[in-house]
Amino acid sequence: MSWSNWPFIMSSVFSQLAIGAFISLGCVILSGKLCFGQSDRVHRTMPALWLMLFVSLILREGNLMLIQAHSAYSLTNEVLLAIVFFGSAICYWFFEKGLVATEGFRKVLLVNVMVLGIAYLVNGFVVRSSHWLVISHFMATTMVGGMLFAHAALVRSQHKVEAVNRIFPIGGMLLAIVCFITGASQLGDLKALAEAQNETGPLIAQIISLGLLVAATGVWLMPMITRSKPVQGVMTFALLLIFLSSLFAGVGV
């Protein structure tokens, strides 16, 4: 694991978290459960997603252009989808914030952006289909992390949709269990590889990543267990844990 890989790991984590979060937020917005004020506050949190996507693309493409300075440069389907998603999401956000066009048209724009996000997820699974450990990391970041990020944004927006405080943590827990089982089942191969090559770094990184995933899910579920409302501090701590889990997963691959 060289320092030159860090920009690509950070880029992947940022883009996967942001796209996963937008899809989850889009589902809540389309449900019609948010009043105008809540919806407006939710949209005020979205610039954080745009910043993450922008930084992701700069980190990845900037480093690729430097590395491939003397060779042909080409975009992968995943990066191309991320760029198109970013542009479409920004357009939707400006239309929604400016109340441009009809509400129905803005919902169509939102659905189109969500479809692009789903296409990004499907492409991600297809590209990683030959490596179950990598698939589990991708699922943990985009689906578990994205849902957690969206829930944190909703808490910050002071939403009043009580069902979200149950559905998101439970859904995230179920997905995290799938990711943990899939990831844990691959530790034997990493152990054999470590013994053969005398390199324990990837194995340790994967164990830490899975531990942080469990910890993040536990913190996320805490308000449900204590029957209290989620607060921003708890959500931010859980989000930090899932972010670190994704970073360690990238280091170990």
Q: Give the position of tokens 């053969």.
A: 196
- pLDDT value for 42: 93
| Amino acid 203: pLDDT | 80
User: Do the beta carbons of residue 56 and residue 14 sit within 8 Å?
Assistant: yes
pLDDT of residue 49: 94
Residues in the chain predicted with pLDDT less than 70, given as ranges, are 1-4, 65-74, 190, 193-195, 251-253
> CB of 54 within 8 A of CB of 83?
no
What are the structure tokens assigned to 153, written together?
């944004």
Q: What is the pLDDT of residue 72?
A: 53
Residue 2: per-residue pLDDT: 46
Residue 19: which H helix or E strand, with range? Answer: helix 6-30
In this prediction, residue 157 carries a pLDDT of 92
Q: What per-residue confidence (pLDDT) applies to 3?
A: 47
In angstroms, rounded to a whole number, what is the distance separating the alpha carbons of residues 143 and 22? 11
User: Rounded to whole angstroms, how far apart are CA atoms 64 and 59?
Assistant: 9
pLDDT for 78: 84
Candidates 247, 252, 164, 238; CA nearest to 207 is 252
Residue 130 phi, psi dihedral angles, 5° rounding: -90, -5
Which pair of structure tokens corresponds to residue 52? 């993450």
3-state secondary structure of 226: coil
Please give the pLDDT value at position 202. 74
Q: Report the predicted TM-score, pTM, of the whole model to 2 decimal places.
A: 0.90
Token pair belonging to 53: 């996507």
Q: Say what the pLDDT of residue 1 is.
A: 47
pLDDT score for 135: 87
Packing angle of the helix pair 6-30, 232-252 (nearest 10 deg)? 140
Phi, psi angle pair for 99, to nearest 5°: 50, 40
Q: Measured on CA atoms in the order 178, 180, 185, 190, is the torsion positive or negative?
A: positive
Phi/psi of residue 129, nearest 5 degrees: -60, -20
Q: How much is the pLDDT for 194?
A: 64
Cα–chain-centroid distance for residue 45?
15
C-beta of residue 159 within 8 angstroms of C-beta of residue 35: no
What are the C-alpha distances in Å from 98 to residues 105, 108, 120, 160?
13, 16, 27, 23
Q: Would you state the pLDDT for residue 195?
A: 66
